[in-house]
Structure 1
Amino acid sequence: MVYKGVLERLHRYGELVMFSHTLFSLPFAMIAMFLAAEGLPNAKTLLWILVALFAGRNGANALNRYVDARFDALNPRTADRHIPSGSVKPREALLLTVIAYVIFVFAAAKLNPICLYLSPVALLLFTLYSYTKRFTWLCHQILGITCAGAPVGAWLAVTGHFALTPLILAAVVTLWISGFDILYGTQDIDFDRAQGLYSIPARFGLKGALSIARISHFIMWLLLLLLTFQSPLLSMPTRFGVLCSGILLIVEHLSVDPAHRQKMNFASYHLNQIISVILFISVTLDIFIL
């Protein structure tokens, strides 16, 4: 019975931090790692990159749920989330954040000095994002920049220095995630305005938000295409993956319907998880097989 209770609690924590959404940033970090190492890095580097990625992402998500609990409880769309519903206590989410942050810094220290020195910057971004809707409608872009640290961090873990390739990947991730976060945020236009929260949909309305999201994803797609020519390790398989991602982005924007929660989850989350996996597979084929 104790074992079952522990598993249930872990499952609940996994839902709290949306563990399945790791598929957004992880594939891009892996792509950066493969390109930096021109294949696989050594086992130690691979291990601590993965530890840092999972710890950083899940710590940031736990904090976001903790910080937003009051607004989640007021919003009918989010009132059933774990903290408002009482299935996870606020102090548990905060403790998860602290543990994850400590593990993140420890993993950075195990990689190399530059990763350790930059770890406070990453933690600052993880923490800052949760408060951005209180003071800027650029919260979506700040989320994108925060997630863009994954490919940059993975590159630095392998090489120890900056380069053009991870910066292009960072721009791709920033534009991609901010774009679909704007789409997802169109569900809360009235709520955000009523609560005095900032977001692009609340500031520019549905039409303006959709236009900004489309522009973000179009530029993101162009940068992806540029990357396939900029990196000598990438060729036709990756370009085919980029083509497929473009088609799925079009489907995503055609599927947006803020009045239907399931359609929004499909457009904002499920399709983008497929996009990241397709890009990961195409790059993997390019580097390791073809």
Structure 2
Amino acid sequence: MRRGGLFRGGADRSLPDAVTGHWADRLAPLSARPYLRLARVERPIGWWLLLLPCWWSAALAALAAGAPYPDPWHLVLFLVGAVAMRGAGSTYNDIVDRDLDARVARTRDRPLPSGRVSVKGAFAFVLAQCAVGLAVLLQLNWFAVATGFASVAIVLTYPFMKRVIWLPQVVLGLCFSWGALMGWAAAFGSLSAAPLLLYAAAIAWVVGYDTIYALQDIEDDEIAGIKSSARLFGARVRLAIGLCYATTIALMAGALALVAPGPIAWLGLLAFAAHLAWQVATLDPAGGRRALMLFRSNRDAGLILFAGMVLDALI
């Protein structure tokens, strides 16, 4: 044990929703593992779900401009930025939620409630990750930079919402869907109706998939007094998720219609819709492991939609 430092004692163990055998739990130095877990490195689904609206927006912009593909440099920047800012957001969220996390079985072994990282160390880590995100953002045009900064207030507010409202997933959607504006802003230096519809579609998608994720914690959330859409919807949770996903598809179709793509983009949207319908049809509200699997499958759903738009632009 190191006293007075950033790393403190406790048994090293992977968290229950981490990817089994991830390199961060096997190969990283023991002193680095708590920080990698704060950044959710061993749970890459988070940065994928933050990245995908960015990539969708870049692909939508390519279709609108008649370009053969999205700007590859923008795609790389969004990838780096998504990893960095997801890590920063998760670390900040853990700082705010450290007392609540200590009362929930799935989260009580996280680095802060378990005492393996100090609050001071976590704040320093947030700043380091934000510096990377800022460096990425400054590679874009000034309108995109301003658009990126406009999300900060929502990001800072989100961790407190589960104490206040029954649908904190809506605020999460406002945060995680911001990339739906960024790809277009980076390409055109402006916004229009198409990326705004895409943003709204992504918000509904986030509410749907994060409600599935929240099913894992529903019993512990009741004990801890944490509000969530899974608790709010109760026995109607499958219907509620289905409505969220139907709204996603309708708004996504509106965004595509405004850029008049070819048939392959529409086929991509159809495949995306089929994937979401499969999630709803096979959901077991009482099955935590099934819920985690379906939640993670949204990476594949999002990549299907992105692939459809990119192939349409190419062809």
Please give the range of the TM-score, normalised by the shorter of the 2 chains. Answer: 0.7 to 0.9
* 1:218 aligned residue: 246
* 1:184 aligned residue: 213
Instruction: Tell me the amino acid that sits aligned with residue 175 of structure 2.
Output: T
Return the offset for 1:132: 0.8
- For residues 163 and 5 of structure 1, the distance between their equivalents in structure 2, rounded to whole angstroms, comes to 46
CA gap 1:42/1:5 in 2 versus in 1, 3 angstroms: closer
* 1:207 aligned residue: 235
* 8 A contact 1:175–1:219 mirrored in 2: yes
* 8 A contact 1:49–1:157 mirrored in 2: no
Return the offset for 1:13: 3.6
Question: How many residues are paired up?
Answer: 282
Question: Pick from 293, 298, 312: which aligns with 1:266?
Answer: 293
Indicate the SS of the match to 1:134. coil
Residues 114-139 of structure 1: CA distance to partner in whole angstroms, max 9, x if unpaired? Answer: 23334442222222111110111121
Return the offset for 1:255: 2.9
* 2:52 aligned residue: 27
* Alignment of structure 1 residues 273-288 onto 2, 5 Å: 273-288=299-314
* 2:40 aligned residue: 18
Return the offset for 1:87: 4.5
Task: Give percent identity, aligned residues only.
Answer: 23
Residues 220-264 of structure 1: CA distance to partner in whole angstroms, max 9, x if unpaired? Answer: 0122233333223x3222222222222221221233234332111
> Structure 2 length as normaliser, TM-score?
0.79
The CA RMSD over aligned residues, in Å, is 2.5
Q: Which has the higher helix share?
A: 1
* 8 A contact 1:33–1:155 mirrored in 2: yes
* 2:266 aligned residue: 239
Return the offset for 1:79: 2.4
- For residues 118 and 223 of structure 1, the distance between their equivalents in structure 2, rounded to whole angstroms, comes to 21
- For residues 153 and 272 of structure 2, the distance between their equivalents in structure 1, rounded to whole angstroms, comes to 31
- For residues 8 and 159 of structure 1, the distance between their equivalents in structure 2, rounded to whole angstroms, comes to 45
- For residues 154 and 7 of structure 1, the distance between their equivalents in structure 2, rounded to whole angstroms, comes to 36
Indicate the SS of the match to 2:177. helix
Return the offset for 1:14: 3.8
Residues 72-120 of structure 1: CA distance to partner in whole angstroms, max 9, x if unpaired? Answer: 2211132233333444444333222222223333433332222333444
> Structure 1 length as normaliser, TM-score?
0.85
Name the stretch that deviates more: 209-218 or 222-231.
222-231
Return the offset for 1:167: 1.0
Indicate the SS of the match to 1:68. helix
CA gap 1:54/1:5 in 2 versus in 1, 3 angstroms: closer
Residues 49-81 of structure 1: CA distance to partner in whole angstroms, max 9, x if unpaired? Answer: 444333322211221122222222211132233
Return the offset for 1:9: 5.1
Is 1:145 aligned to 2:174, yes or no? yes
Gaps of 5+ in 1: none
CA gap 1:136/1:173 in 2 versus in 1, 3 angstroms: same
Return the offset for 1:32: 1.3
Indicate the SS of the match to 1:223. helix
CA gap 1:93/1:255 in 2 versus in 1, 3 angstroms: farther
Return the offset for 1:155: 1.5
CA gap 1:212/1:98 in 2 versus in 1, 3 angstroms: same
